[in-house]
Chains A and B, each alone.
Chain A
Amino acid sequence: GAVVSQHPSRVICKSGTSVKIECRSLDFQATTMFWYRQFPKQSLMLMATSNEGSKATYEQGVEKDKFLINHASLTLSTLTVTSAHPEDSSFYICSARDIGGQRGTDTQYFGPGTRLTVL
């Protein structure tokens, strides 16, 4: 249980284009999903918290107009990087909150990540 998928796993795009990343909870419903980015050899930095049916809450310093988040259903959240530039190249990871479940925990389970390279 508590499986989270991401698509695509890897994307390469030209500077100025927009990229959409999908995050799905496969075997549970997630009212809350989170988006992180991770630079090489560094830890995860929370970008935003996404609640189903409402606007996302962004962390300080994260541009909400650049990183568009939509959480339209209990199993799907999307992150769109608009007008991507080389400095946006990173590993983007989503997580989903699983309340209880088989492990009896209320915590976050992570997707496999999406590696974005902007040329």
Chain B
Amino acid sequence: QKEVEQDPGPLSVPEGAIVSLNCTYSNSAFQYFMWYRQYSRKGPELLMYTYSSGNKEDGRFTAQVDKSSKYISLFIRDSQPSDSATYLCAMSAGKGAQKLVFGQGTRLTINP
């Protein structure tokens, strides 16, 4: 079993829809949870950074962490074609120098 599970998709939704992306994990030591966006042939870009359980909102993006269920989510409101990318969840047991464990990534396409 992988430490982090993420549905690779692909996921295709119409412009303006609310998108929900999810990851589950097995290691209860994970405390820091991140979402990265990766465009084709580019490096990952940090979108959201969350410590422990709870919600965090940044513009159209909301990250949720439920440590009791070992489940994290990223919601994208009013999705735009420019949001089309691969979204990677990542997590670690400690801060920045700790090893990041990535999900497989979900390919998302927003159709105009």
**Could you tell me which A residues sit within 8 Å of B by CB distance?**
2, 4, 6, 31-32, 34, 41-44, 46, 49, 91, 93, 95, 97-99, 103, 105-113, 115
10 A-B contacts, Cβ less than 8 Å apart?
A6-B43, A41-B8, A43-B105, A44-B102, A105-B46, A105-B49, A107-B34, A107-B46, A112-B42, A113-B41
| Chain A residue nearest in CB terms to B99 | A46
Contact partner of B97 (CB less than 8 A), chosen from A32, A42, A43, A103, is: A32
Q: Is the CB of B43 within 8 A of A97?
A: no
The yes or no answer to B45 lying at the interface (CB within 8 A) is yes
Contact partner of A111 (CB less than 8 A), chosen from B34, B36, B43, B96, is: B43
Q: Is the CB of B88 within 8 A of A43?
A: yes
Contact with A along B54-85 (1 / 0, CB 8 A): 00000000000000000000000000000000
Q: Is the CB of A93 within 8 A of B99?
A: no
The yes or no answer to B111 lying at the interface (CB within 8 A) is no
| Chain B residue nearest in CB terms to A42 | B104
> Which residues of chain B are within 8 angstroms of A93 by Cβ–Cβ distance?
43-44
Contact partner of A46 (CB less than 8 A), chosen from B34, B100, B105, B107, is: B100
> Which residues of chain B are within 8 angstroms of A91 by Cβ–Cβ distance?
41
Q: Beyond A43-B102, A44-B88, is A97–B45 a contact (Cβ under 8 Å)?
A: no
| Chain B residue nearest in CB terms to A44 | B102
Q: Of A4, A6, A110, which is in contact with the most chain B CB atoms at under 10 Å from its CB?
A: A110
Per the bound structure, the CA–CA distance linking A103 and B100 in Å amounts to: 18
| Chain A residue nearest in CB terms to B107 | A41
> Which residues of chain A are within 8 angstroms of B46 by Cβ–Cβ distance?
2, 103, 105, 107-110
Per the bound structure, the CA–CA distance linking A2 and B88 in Å amounts to: 19
> Which residues of chain A are within 8 angstroms of B41 by Cβ–Cβ distance?
91, 113, 115
Q: Is the CB of A106 within 8 A of B95?
A: yes
> Which residues of chain B are within 8 angstroms of A2 by Cβ–Cβ distance?
46
| Chain B residue nearest in CB terms to A98 | B96
The 7 closest A-B pairs by CB, nearest first: A110-B43, A97-B96, A106-B96, A106-B95, A43-B102, A112-B43, A105-B49
Per the bound structure, the CA–CA distance linking A105 and B35 in Å amounts to: 13
